[in-house]
Amino acid sequence: MTNEMRVSVTREIPASAEVIFSLITLPAGHVAMDGSGSLVCAPSNHRLTAVGDTFLMDMDREPIGDIPDMGKYQVENEVTGIETNRLLEWTVGMTGRPRVGHVYGIRLTPIDTSLTLVENYMDWSGVPEKWRDRVKWPVIPAGTMEASLARLEAAILSA
């Protein structure tokens, strides 16, 4: 699904919601599933368990070239929604700067004990109007998010 301020892709992954949730609540799991090639590493190793948990990601925008001169930088993410085996949602801010207002999320819908519908989404509706002109929407196209779900499935199946 795509609209002006939200991009969402889904994929059925042959694994339980518990197994998938275990991977996505480790920051290193985000690097493993990143389809953009921009996540370099996750300095935070702790499992995400509650709203307010933060985790750092080192990024390099040069490989995707979507934001000129962005280069390497670090983002601090904060969990804004978490439901065991169902949802992980977080907002992003550059280290030392306030959160911009966009939200990323992964929603899990168990189909049965060994198959889960996984939705990967990005929502920019919380970004203040005055900042929206600075970024060409969508920053991450649906194809990149689909690649992330394919990589998530590969990581789950190879574990």
Structure tokens at 150: 């394919």
pTM: 0.86
Give the per-residue pLDDT at 5.
Answer: 79
pLDDT of residue 2: 45
Q: Domain boundaries in the chain?
A: 6-158
Distance (Å) of CA 1 to CA 6, 136, 155: 8, 18, 24
pLDDT at site 94? 64
- Using CA atoms, how far apart are residues 141 and 8, in angstroms rounded to an integer? 10
The predicted structure's pLDDT at residue 66: 56
Output DSSP code: residue 129.
H
What is the model's pLDDT at position 36? Answer: 82
Give the model's pLDDT for residue 1: 45
Average pLDDT across each block of 10 residues of the chain; the chain has 159 residues. List them in order: 75 97 95 87 92 90 61 85 97 70 92 97 81 63 90 93
- Tell me the fold of 6-158: Alpha-D-Glucose-1,6-Bisphosphate; Chain A, domain 4 (3.30.530)
Question: Is 13:155 a contact under the CB 8 Å cutoff?
Answer: no
